[in-house]
Amino acid sequence: MKYTSFKLAAITACISTAFSCQKNTTVSTESDPEIPNVIFILADDLGYGDLGCYGSSCNRTPNLDNLARLGIRFTDSYAAASICSPSRAALLTGRYPLRMGINGVFFPESFSGIDTSEVTIAEALHKAGYYTGIVGKWHLGHHHAFLPLQNGFDEYFGIPYSNDMRSVVYMRGNSVESWTVDQTLLTKTYTGEALAFIEKNKERPFFLYLAHNMPHVPLFASAGFSGKSANGLYGDVIEELDWSVGEIMKKLESLGLLENTLVVFSSDNGPWLTEGPHGGSPGQLFQGKFTSWEGGQRVPTIAFWKGKINPGVYPGVTSLMDWYPTLISLAGLENPGNRMLDGMDLSNVLLGNGKRQTDDFYYIGGGNIQAFRSGDFKMILPQAMKKGNFWVEDVPAHDTLLFNLKEDIGEKNDLSKTEYAKIAEMSAKIQEFRKSLENVPPGLIMNDRSAEEATNKARKILVEQALSQGKKPKGGI
Ligand code: MG
């Protein structure tokens, strides 16, 4: 592919000019090579070990591998939560979801959604002159006030919830466009919408958030990919997602937009391991979705910007929340909100000028701090036994744990009984961080209790039916 052939010399020339930008409140409505378009591609439940460039030997992902080779591959990038809604809220606001009361996932029965007072990245860029669009999964509430068009997006097409929840419909704008969805065409449909969006906006700055529903269960691939991979349906789905990335890069190249478009690819959380072959792989990491172990929150993340990004591997800690201040900075804007941001500006990392401000990250689940990473070390706070069920594997009860992730990526060798000084140092930091959480709102009511009970009962029946037929239960209802 031609987008492999950019000149390294161009990188240094651009670094100095990028940082000489004056801070603005609006950007030119015509394309400016120093103000990038942004395409943020988010996979759903993609595991750390699911791409070739992250060690997969069974899923073929040549387009993503190419993007990683020519861009930056982040080895220690964390989703802000181990489940969908909180992670997406954090990506769009640069803030821990706990600060918004989003401590669980929204359901079609939910009354609530992302607080309208939050200033999403789409809202910030829209006010600054970007045309903004989302194609794909929203999962931050479906009542009018919570939908994308009321939260900074000029356009929306996609499924408002996860593809295993009731109300799998295609929405366009604030309305349902189709009450039936052929999920085998889901990735292809989203890709077509994304390509049309890019084509339509080639003459002005744009922000496209392409939030795929795949590879969240139930899995679907189109006829061109079904049965073609070496890793069953899961591999088919990953390879179609990789094809989608390739189509977007080809479109950018054909329109001459590679030099002024930042493309980021990541996942909202780790793989759903209880789905067996329909769940992804955490690679060498321990556990998956729903947990604060590395497999639950460390996700593949790749950034590409032809001629601007300094290609390589970034081994430091980063978070999906970092993209908020990063995109604000790259657009030459001031932070548009008056709220505390948890993300840190990565523009220095992208442009080869430096590192992230710290190597700290807090793992927050169910509204509580569950673990803390600082540099090479991760401290996990005491937790009660979490019994396995349809969703999550058994997580044994444990006292405080400490791991050196650089030497022990699989979190096997507990150092808490010997590294007392490190435990004390990290505990003090956690205490300091807790102070910043004193005024967080109560958790939003996610849905009606009776509806939740009915859902659980229906799931239980489905599981029992599958087991009685000798099948492993998959997908949802
Ligand atoms: Mg997810």
pLDDT of residue 165: 87
pLDDT higher than threshold 80 for residue 322: yes
Predicted confidence at residue 396, as pLDDT, reads 82
Q: List the chain domain ranges.
A: 16-357
Q: What is the pTM of this model?
A: 0.89
- What is the model's pLDDT at position 138? 96
- In single-letter form, the type of residue at position 264 comes to V
- What is the rounded average pLDDT of the residues 281-292? 96
Residue 324 CA to ligand 1 center (angstroms) comes to 19
Active-site residue (options: 21, 58, 126, 139):
139
Q: Is 139 a catalytic residue?
A: yes
What's the mean pLDDT in 59-68? 98
Kindly report, residue by residue over 394-404, the tens digit of the pLDDT. Answer: 878 999 999 99
pLDDT average, residue stretch 282-289: 96
- pLDDT at position 102: 92
Span from the CA of 215 to the centroid of ligand 1 (angstroms):
9
Average pLDDT on 299-312 reads: 96
Q: Would you say residue 455 has pLDDT above 60?
A: no
pLDDT, tens digit, 9 for 90 and up, residues 406-440: 999 999 999 999 999 999 999 999 999 999 988 88
Residue 10 has pLDDT above 50, yes or no: no
Q: 267 alpha carbon to ligand 1 midpoint, in Å?
A: 7
Residues 39-61, mean pLDDT to the nearest whole number:
98
Residue 361: pLDDT above 80?
yes
pLDDT-derived band at 446, boundaries 50, 70, 90: low
Rounded to an integer, the average pLDDT of 247-267 is 98
The residue annotated as part of the active site, out of 84, 142, 216, 278, is 84
Q: Find the 22 Cα to ligand 1 centroid distance in Å.
A: 37
Is 84 in the active site? yes
| Mean pLDDT, the chain, integer | 89
Fold category of 16-357 in CATH = Alkaline Phosphatase, subunit A (3.40.720)
- Per-residue model confidence as pLDDT tens digits over 69-85: 999 999 999 999 999 99
pLDDT digits (tens, 9 = 90+) for 76-132: 999 999 999 999 999 999 999 999 999 889 988 888 899 989 999 999 999 999 999
- Cα 82 to ligand 1 centre (Å): 8
